[in-house]
């Protein structure tokens, strides 16, 4: 008799006087005592694109073979008690031991989230305020010189020091790192008078900054 199969039977009695009529039809089902439980050892049924969930089948027999299925269809060469799922779908495993074939009663659902990219740009040239291209995400963390900035957890950030800045955006269990922006020190500009070659009576009006000086106007001293 095969496991997980139902059999129908009827009986009749016979003796020297002849045979009786058949009894009513009865049925009997041969139960398979396999225990099959499929778990997701990754801790979440949602994964990021490019990653995989580790699925594990647990059973009460040691001498068994395995066949993993995706959406009810056999997965080629998926015959180990573990399987790494990298596509969206319903996953189950059939355990075969002798005449017994049994799958877990509830398949596991794996959902693959599409990857996303994030960029940052300067939106205020005076304050150097920067903004991430992804809005409404679950998490933001800004970095300066590859060190996280305490409290910098919004889509926008205004730097207070020079350095290299970027942001890591997290959403639905996935994360993406932005491009880098280098913030230079703020320069102080102004106008100053500087006198050179006083023997010729020439006076120069100059614009200066912390890094350069530019000749703007020249006039004779009367």
Residue pair 127/186 in contact (Cβ under 8 Å)? The answer is no
Name the token pair of 3.
């496991």
Q: How many CB atoms lie within 10 A of CB 93?
A: 28
Bridge partners for 194 per DSSP: 204
Structural domain boundaries of the chain? 36-113, 120-183
The pLDDT value given to residue 81: 94
Architecture of the domain made up of 36-113 = Sandwich (2.60)
Question: Consecutive 10-residue runs of the chain (222 residues): their mean pLDDT?
Answer: 67 81 78 85 86 92 92 96 95 90 90 88 95 92 96 96 95 88 69 41 43 40 43
Q: Which CATH homologous superfamily contains domain 120-183?
A: Immunoglobulins (2.60.40.10)
The pLDDT value given to residue 157: 97
Name the token pair of 173.
């269990």
Name the token pair of 28.
């009997």
Do 36-113 and 120-183 share a fold? yes
Buried b (16+ CB within 10 A) or exposed e, 151-173: ebeebbbebeeebebbbbbebee
The pLDDT value given to residue 30: 62
- What's the start-to-end Cα distance of the chain, in Å? 123
The pLDDT value given to residue 31: 67
The pLDDT value given to residue 186: 60
Q: Sign of dihedral through CA atoms 161, 163, 169, 175?
A: negative
The pLDDT value given to residue 3: 55
Model confidence, pTM: 0.56
């Amino acid at each position: 008799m095969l496991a997980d199969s139902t059999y129908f039977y009827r009986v009749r009695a016979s003796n020297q006087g002849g045979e009786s009529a058949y009894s009513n039809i009865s049925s009997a089902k041969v139960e398979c005592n396999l225990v099959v439980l499929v778990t997701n050892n990754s801790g979440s049924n949602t994964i990021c694109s490019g990653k995989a969930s580790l699925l594990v089948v647990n059973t009460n027999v040691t001498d068994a073979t395995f066949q993993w299925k995706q959406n009810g269809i056999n997965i080629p060469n998926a015959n180990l008690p573990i399987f790494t799922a990298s596509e969206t779908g319903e996953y189950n495993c059939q355990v075969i031991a002798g005449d017994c074939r049994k799958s877990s009663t509830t398949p596991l659902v794996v959902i693959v989230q599409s990857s996303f990219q994030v960029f940052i740009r300067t939106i205020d040239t005076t304050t150097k305020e920067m903004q991430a291209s992804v809005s409404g995400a679950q998490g933001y963390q800004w970095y300066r010189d590859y060190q996280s900035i305490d409290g910098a957890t919004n889509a926008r950030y205004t730097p207070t020091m020079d350095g290299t800045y970027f942001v890591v955006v997290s959403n639905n269990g996935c994360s993406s790192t932005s491009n880098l922006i280098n913030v230079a020190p703020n320069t102080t500009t102004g106008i100053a008078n500087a006198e050179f070659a006083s023997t010729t009576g020439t006076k120069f009006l100059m614009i200066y900054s912390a890094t350069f000086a530019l000749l703007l106007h020249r006039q004779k001293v009367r």
